[in-house]
Structure 1
Amino acid sequence: MASEQRLKILQLLADPHLYFGQQWSADPVEFGVCMTLIAEALNIAQPTASRHLAILNEAGFIRVSKHQKWAYCKRDEAEIRDYVRWLGSQLSVRE
Structure 2
Amino acid sequence: MSVALEDGAIRLRGASAVEDAEALLALLQAEPRRPVDLRAAEGLHASVVQVLLALRPEVLGPAADPFVTRWLLPLLAGPPRPEPN
Task: With the length of structure 1 as denominator, give the TM-score of the two structures.
Answer: 0.28
Point out the structure with the larger strand share: 2
Larger relative contact order, structure 1 or 2 (CA cutoff 8 Å, min sep 6): 2
